[in-house]
Amino acid sequence: MSNISAAQVKELREKTGLGLMDCKKALEDAEGNMDKAIEELRKTSGVKASKKSGRSAADGLIAIKNIDDQIFMIEVNCETDFVARDDSFVEFTSQTLKSFSENPEKTLQELMDDGIEDNREKIVQKLGENIVVRRVAKTESSTITGSYLHSNNKIGCIVSLEGGSHDLAIDIAMHAAATDPLAVSPADIPSELVEKEREIYKAQSEDSGKPPEIIEKMIEGKVSKFLAEVSLTEQDFVKDPNTKINQLLKENSASILNFTRFEVGEGIEVEKVDFAAEVMSQIEG
């Protein structure tokens, strides 16, 4: 059937969010029956969404919401910054955060099963990229909390304090977002990571020609410096480099219970795509 009107295609596109050519073909196959076209698109779109799920999604957004002193944070990934700035993707991220904040007792998988996955598949079809709700985090409502979201919406941090104030928690969240500490204090750094660093420093010092006891002191000095650099409490406060975070906490009768820092795409291995091969596969398939 070739006499499908532009108005029909437009209506189907508005109902499904899919591309013009997909909508036109679905209507032709359904001989103009709108309900049948929608049903078939739902079937085929699930297949297409599944195919896209194998592609690397290392861009996206961090979103944060504060409800009654409890803070919720999520990371939603896509493949490109272009899609990350799309209004539909921003809205999907916002709605996902809303679902999380309204159901704080649920795991991410439970949230996905409760409707987010259906919305994800629809937005995948509309935008043509793999989209992943990667992770969620929250503070405890019984503590002093603070958050920081960088202006590009790519880095966010939430903090829980015992004592102190909300302003202090916000300052520490901003600091942690900027410095990316591994843990709250040196005691929280995994021992295997410390030993790995010690082995590296040992290998670097072997050809120094210095006596073993001097080398050992050099190694321990470097380990101590490493622990100070990656521990939140030992770092120089970004807003006042003459003050360390532990000093700031002491002055405000506070301690850090925990913090969570998200940076879009961190730790994701980006798939290298052979675009020529991809184009050929689409032509052939």
User: Are 21 and 83 part of one and the same domain?
Assistant: no
- Is residue 158, in this structure, part of any structural domain at all? no
Domains of the chain: total: 3
User: Are 76 and 39 part of one and the same domain?
Assistant: no
CB burial of 37-60 (b: ≥16 within 10 Å; e: otherwise) equals bbebbeeebeebbeebeeebbbbb
Q: Please say which residue of 138, 163, 197 terminates a domain.
A: 138
- Is residue 43, in this structure, part of any structural domain at all? yes
Q: Please say which residue of 102, 122, 138 terminates a domain.
A: 138
User: Are 59 and 132 part of one and the same domain?
Assistant: yes
User: Are 31 and 17 part of one and the same domain?
Assistant: yes
Mean pLDDT, the chain cut into blocks of 10 residues (285 residues total): 79 74 87 86 69 81 94 96 95 97 94 93 89 94 92 97 96 97 96 91 82 88 93 96 97 96 89 57 55
- Is residue 260, in this structure, part of any structural domain at all? no
Distance between start and end Cα atoms, the chain: 24
Q: Which residue has the tokens 């799920």?
A: 53
Is residue 154 within 8 Å of 263, Cβ to Cβ? yes
CATH of the domain at 230: 1.10.286.20
- Is residue 89, in this structure, part of any structural domain at all? yes
CATH of the domain at 62: 3.30.479.20
Domain extent at residue 75: 55-138
Q: Can you tell me whether residue 51 is helix, strand or coil?
A: helix
Q: Which residue blocks in 154-190 are alpha helix, DSSP H? A: 166-179
Q: Give the pLDDT score at 1.
A: 46
Q: Can you tell me whether residue 208 is helix, strand or coil?
A: coil
- Is residue 214, in this structure, part of any structural domain at all? yes
User: Are 113 and 48 part of one and the same domain?
Assistant: no
User: Are 205 and 246 part of one and the same domain?
Assistant: yes
Q: Give the pLDDT score at 229.
A: 94
Q: Give the pLDDT score at 59.
A: 95
Closest CA to 232 of 159, 162, 136: 159
User: Are 17 and 65 part of one and the same domain?
Assistant: no
Is residue 257 within 8 Å of 149, Cβ to Cβ? no
Render 246-257 in DSSP notation, one character per residue: HHHHHHTTEEEE
Question: Which residues on adjacent β-strands are paired with residue 158?
Answer: 147, 260
Exposed/middle/buried for residue 195 (C-beta within 10 Å: 0-12, 13-18, 19+): exposed
- Is residue 170, in this structure, part of any structural domain at all? no
User: Are 126 and 72 part of one and the same domain?
Assistant: yes
Q: Which long-range contacts (CB under 8 A, 24 or more apart) does 243-248 make?
A: 245/172, 245/175, 248/168, 248/171, 248/172
Residues 6 or more apart whose Cβ sits within 8 Å of residue 115: 99
- Is residue 29, in this structure, part of any structural domain at all? yes
- Is residue 73, in this structure, part of any structural domain at all? yes
Q: Which residue has the tokens 């999380």?
A: 100
Closest CA to 140 of 119, 169, 111: 169
The pTM for the full model equals 0.78
